Amino acid sequence: MTDAHDALESFRLDGRVAIVTGASSGLGARFARVLHGAGATVVLAARRSGRLEALAGELDGAMPVVCDVSQGADRERLVATTLERHGQVDVLVNNAGVGTPEPAEHETVERFGEVLDVNLIAAFGVAQAVGRRMLEQGSGSIVNVSSILGMVGSQIPFASYAASKGGLIALTRELTAQWARRGVRVNALAPGWFETEMTAEMFADERSMAWVARMAPMGRPGAPHELDGALLFLASDASAYVTGQVLAVDGGWTAV
């Protein structure tokens, strides 16, 4: 085989089992389709059963698991169900997240805690549950979906979300420090501005889009497919010597 062919093959996920949380819509659904397209058997986890079933119907061999990642019992059941069906778990895309913009002086401490519960504490819980199995196997790749708001401040009033995503980046590095010698890689994907359910209102607002175009060096928000390569890189053997890193896909937003 040629070197170029070998390089392309390293992005393949044939024979791998991948769990995607928050898979019922938006980036999570896209991530599931991309991993499936690369050959992975995908386990779809989210709270909305109807959407999970519909997505599973599109992806041959995909298994939907209704799961509230903020609940410990649900997290354990997700991993147990995956292992019962497939006997292994090789990739985790820790994507589930919530957030509602609100000025810091008005956001309640209770709401701040709710956002951290899902975006950071639950993400740790899923990584821990999956990581235990990966450590037994001696291999695995965890991709924590953070955000550029976890890397830099912005004019978006989003204190709880920013704190949770910054914490997720720190967690990524700490898990790397603990697990790298035992075969488990942990990286973070930090998207810039992409249209999702959470950002739908922003994308429908002309002033907001003009602000993104003005602030992003590339002059525009991202298109969904522009995360595909970054995700596959971090999930696959293409990044076999990469761990503890934050890959920003943001049109240059964090560079200036």
pLDDT digits (tens, 9 = 90+) for 95-148: 999 998 999 999 999 999 999 999 999 999 999 999 999 999 999 999 999 999
Contact 115, 164 (CB under 8 A): yes
Q: Is residue 256 situated within a structural domain?
A: no
Q: Is residue 143 situated within a structural domain?
A: yes
Q: Is residue 193 situated within a structural domain?
A: yes
Examine the pLDDT at 158 and tell me if it is beyond 80: yes
Structural domain count, the chain: 1
Contact 254, 223 (CB under 8 A): no
Contact 249, 30 (CB under 8 A): no
CA angle 102–107–108, rounded 5-degree value: 155
- Provide mean pLDDT across the span 155-178: 96
Q: Is residue 254 situated within a structural domain?
A: no
Catalytic residue among 31, 158, 161, 194: 161
Full domain range(s) for residue 176: 3-249
User: Is-catalytic flag, 161?
Assistant: yes
CATH number at residue 183: 3.40.50.720
Q: Is residue 255 situated within a structural domain?
A: no
Neighbours of 49 (CB within 10 A): 12
Contacts of residue 114, Cβ cutoff 8 Å, sequence gap at least 6? 98, 160
Q: Is residue 100 situated within a structural domain?
A: yes
The pLDDT of residue 164:
98
User: 2: pLDDT confidence band, cut at 50, 70 and 90?
Assistant: low
Q: Is residue 43 situated within a structural domain?
A: yes
What pLDDT, in 10s, does the model give residues 205-252?
999 999 999 999 999 999 999 999 999 999 999 999 999 999 999 999
If we measure between CA atoms, which residue out of 168, 227, 157 comes closest to residue 192?
227
State the DSSP code for 23: T
Q: Is residue 101 situated within a structural domain?
A: yes
The C-alpha atoms of residue 9 and residue 237 are separated, in whole angstroms, by 9
